[in-house]
Amino acid sequence: MLKVGIVGVGLIGRAWAVVFARGGAKVALWDESPKALREALGTIAQCLADMKRAGLVKRPDAVLKRMRVARSLADCVKGVDYVQESVLEREPDKKAIFAKLDVLTPAGAILASSTSAIPASVFTKELKGRKRCLVAHPVNPPAFVPVVELCGAPWTAKETVARARAIMEEVGQVPVTVHKEIEGFILNRLQAAVLNEAFRLIEQGYVSPDDLDKTVRDGLGLRWSFMGPMETIHLNAPGGTIDYITRYGGFFRRIDAQTRKAKPWSDAIARKLHVAAAKAVPPSRHAAAEARRDRRLMALAVHKRAMAKKD
């Protein structure tokens, strides 16, 4: 049975614990915060109950029994095959915890970070076991959104990436291999491109924040929930991808030239967007909105699983 150590039990760490235990692994949890560690299993139990109601797990009790709270970091990673680190998104914190993990873990264990943007080379360069280190960047929340970006440093062994990919597939995630280090990896760079253009369109008065969200939510998002942009353009022209590029390539090149001159993310647009968002979801409703998001994601995950079996 796969043995996994979860280091850091915040939102992402707890979701990772669900992913691995749901996938059949034995999971140990540790956090430097005693309070976070005390509350972790209770919060996870509630999440599993919600997942059962949605049809994503059949036996929450069996999943929970595969988890335990470790007495120390050393106890958490003793005899593990794989470690998923999810501590604060700060370079010094990543360096410090990976230095400890490199000493405490079995030599053959994979050490993976949940970092959203920091390349593995930044915090593994000085490690003796650096060839077994990589980034395994999830999408929040990883228990419902299965894609995981795997990105090694220049010295990460190919075997490490291959094993990590196999483990992710084993526990039901959808791994994506990033072949070269790049800040933000793939998902966040795509998200940045969409956000940059969204900010520009709103700031320059072409559309309201609410209608921008509708364009994605009730337009692009519907299609992208079951096919990516490469498949989309292939199906959007009778002759496939070459036909699409022939028809629309000039238009997209002109848009690219226009957007390169613009500078989004001004303080003014940040304030405007915050006011609009806070009006739609005030602080008093933030937690409820997050719960609604998770329920919708769970329902979508169930639907996609069912459709995958029929395709």
Cα radius of gyration (the chain)? 21
Q: How confident is the model at residue 10 (pLDDT cuts 50, 70, 90)?
A: very high
Give pLDDT tens digits for 282-306. Answer: 989 988 988 898 888 888 888 888 8
Domain residue ranges in the chain: 3-178, 187-280
In DSSP terms, 144 is beta-bridged to: none
> 147-151, 192-196, 218-222, 253-257: which has the minimum mean pLDDT?
253-257
Q: Which CATH class is domain 3-178?
A: alpha beta
The pLDDT tens digits of the residues spanning 176-188 come to 999 999 988 999 9
Question: What span, in angstroms and rounded, lies between the C-alpha atoms of 216 and 220?
Answer: 5
CA 165 – CA 151 distance, rounded (Å) = 10
CB-based contact 212:197 (threshold 8 Å): no
Residue type, 74: A
Record the tokens describing residue 194, joined without a space: 């969409």
Bridge partners (DSSP) listed for residue 140: none
CATH topology match: 3-178 vs 187-280: no
From residue 42, alpha-carbon distances to 35, 39, 68, 69, 298 in Å are 12, 6, 12, 11, 20
Domain 187-280 grouped into CATH 1.10.1040.10:
yes
**Between helices 34-54 and 286-310, what is the axis angle to 10°?**
50
Q: Strands (DSSP E) along the chain, which ranges?
A: 3-7, 26-30, 67-69, 82-85, 110-113, 133-138, 147-152, 174-178
pTM of the predicted structure, to 2 decimals:
0.90
